[in-house]
Structure 1
Amino acid sequence: MKGTFIDDLPLSQINIPEGKAPRNLVRSIQEQGLIEPPVVQQCDYGETRYRILAGIRRLQAVREIRPEGSVVAIVRVHPYNGADITLAENIVRSRNFVSELHAFRDLRRLSMTEEDIQKQLGLYKKDVKKLAQLAQLSLAAEHALAQGKLSPSAALILAKMPAAVQDEFLASCPPETSKYTLTSVKAWRMQHLLPSAQLSFLADIPLQ
């Protein structure tokens, strides 16, 4: 995204959505400053003069650190296209694996590298790796994650299996199951990796 740099843009002039940035991003900006400038565009929102094209969470973090402060920003002059709109709307406002996953997928459709996505979302490299893994979830598994029936740690294990196997796991549990446990997901993966015939050796192991 190309544009003009503004060295001292007051936060009060930017339309920053409500929400808190991830703790790791707040700590990073406190320690190192705002390394990657946000991208904004002039608009007409009453007293607000700029809307955010990229960097919502970075600006939320800066606002938390110094509410009356200002930032270095890139001002985009030309109207943004559909891809930019998708980007702006999907940069998540709070720590939420599902919304981050949606943002990750949208950015990847724009042919962005994991390193660029990491900067855009304000995450650590390991967090982007997790999102890349979660992107392998089947639709049913992702729905369970969104409902809170599948924890992120269990979802990461489940995502290592083919989509059909993920759906088999979900179908094997009663519909009223309140939550799929990490233990049950690990057991299912072991069953998938080592069919029962290959596990027969366990019967020969003496109990202590």
Structure 2
Amino acid sequence: MKKPEKRGLGRGLSALMADVQIEPAPEAGEPPRSKPDQMVPLDLLEPNPDQPRRQFSEDALKELADSIREKGVIQPLIVRPSKKVEGRYEIVAGERRWRASQLAQQHEVPVILRELDDTEVLEIAIIENIQRADLNPVEEAMGYRQLMDRFGHTQDKVAEALGKSRSHIANLLRLLQLPEEVLDHLREGRMTAGHARALITTENPADLARQVIKGQLSVRETEKLAKQGSEPKSAKPRNRAPEKDADTRALEQDLSANLGMRVTIEHWADGSGRIVVGYKDLDDLDRLCGALSAATVTAFD
């Protein structure tokens, strides 16, 4: 049975991104870097439901709105025809400008119209935000997870297309194993990705996160706290398995990053062992079952 070819990332990201200006907007008096195809009323535009960025700074939007009142929208938005309603458009790049234009009480904005498929739209949205450093670590990780889950991209392919190292992609994906409370701390900037990574393998990451924030601990101090929090509380000696070697820990991290779930490997004295996969909710369980089913089909293909 012939396997269907997996689609590569984009039809040439350099071509797709040619109209998406990542560098700062031109100064007042400079011509727009991309000529708009048309002007579109704000109420005919709708945000991209797969936009990786979920939070928009109110102060930053107000600042941009002030600039738009004075100079207008210098960079056109990238849009595509809406799949839902004829005559409407979905924003591919430029949702922040659209929101700020609403605050500035503008009636229409310049747009560049492109025919793009869902994968290309998601790729552009992620690239635009990441290269502008607009995403928090959770949003960035969710964007990578979308590319992998929805379109079958590997970590290596995502890393290559976005100009990131594979370890950067893997480390961010591991953050998604943390409970929602810890992810909220990350989203709000109360702790960094370095702090959060130190908590991934602990039994009580939410409790430790609260201690980190309350004590304003450094990443190094957080790592020390996480190690202490993972130790057994009983003072009585217990039969413990030998400390895991570097290869086992690396394998745990790779499996965790690929599944987006916490994976632990236990070796026993007789040479046997077990792999434990922890999931946060039923959606996680469904995704795990789907991955295992796909692996089974591939193995017997």
Relative to the length of structure 1, the TM-score reads: 0.53
Contact 2:141 2:176 in 1 (8 A): no
1:45-60 alignment, distance < 5 Å:
45-46=84-85, 48-60=87-99
1:182-197 alignment, distance < 5 Å:
182-184=213-215, 186=217, 189-190=220-221, 192=223
Tell me if 1:99 matches 2:145. no
> Larger RCO: Structure 1 or Structure 2 (Cα < 8 Å, ≥ 6 residues apart)?
1
Counterpart of 1:158? Answer: 195
Counterpart of 2:45? Answer: 14
Q: What amino acid is the match of 2:64?
A: S
Contact 2:64 2:97 in 1 (8 A): no
Counterpart of 1:74? Answer: 112
Q: Alignment partner for residue 111 of structure 1, among 153, 161, 178?
A: 161
CA distance in 2, matches of 1:8, 1:174: 49
Contact 1:8 1:71 in 2 (8 A): yes
Q: Deviations over 1:103-129 (max 9, x none)?
A: 477799373469xxxxxxxxxxxxxxx
CA distance in 1, matches of 2:179, 2:186: 10
- Give ranges in structure 1 of 5+ residues lacking alignment: 115-131, 194-208
Counterpart of 2:172? Answer: 135
CA distance in 1, matches of 2:76, 2:192: 33
- Give ranges in structure 2 of 5+ residues lacking alignment: 1-15, 20-34, 148-156, 225-301
Sort the Cα spacing of 1:11 and 1:136 in 2 relative to 1 into closer, same or farther, 3 A: same
Q: What amino acid is the match of 1:84?
A: V
Counterpart of 2:261? Answer: none
CA distance in 1, matches of 2:112, 2:215: 48
Q: Deviations over 1:142-182 (max 9, x none)?
A: 744335599623234515xxx4x4335x43x4876783432
Question: Could you say which structure has the larger radius of gyration?
Answer: 2
Relative to the length of structure 2, the TM-score reads: 0.40
CA apart distance, 1:40? 0.7
Sort the Cα spacing of 1:5 and 1:113 in 2 relative to 1 into closer, same or farther, 3 A: farther
Question: Which SS does the other structure have where 1:152 is aligned?
Answer: coil
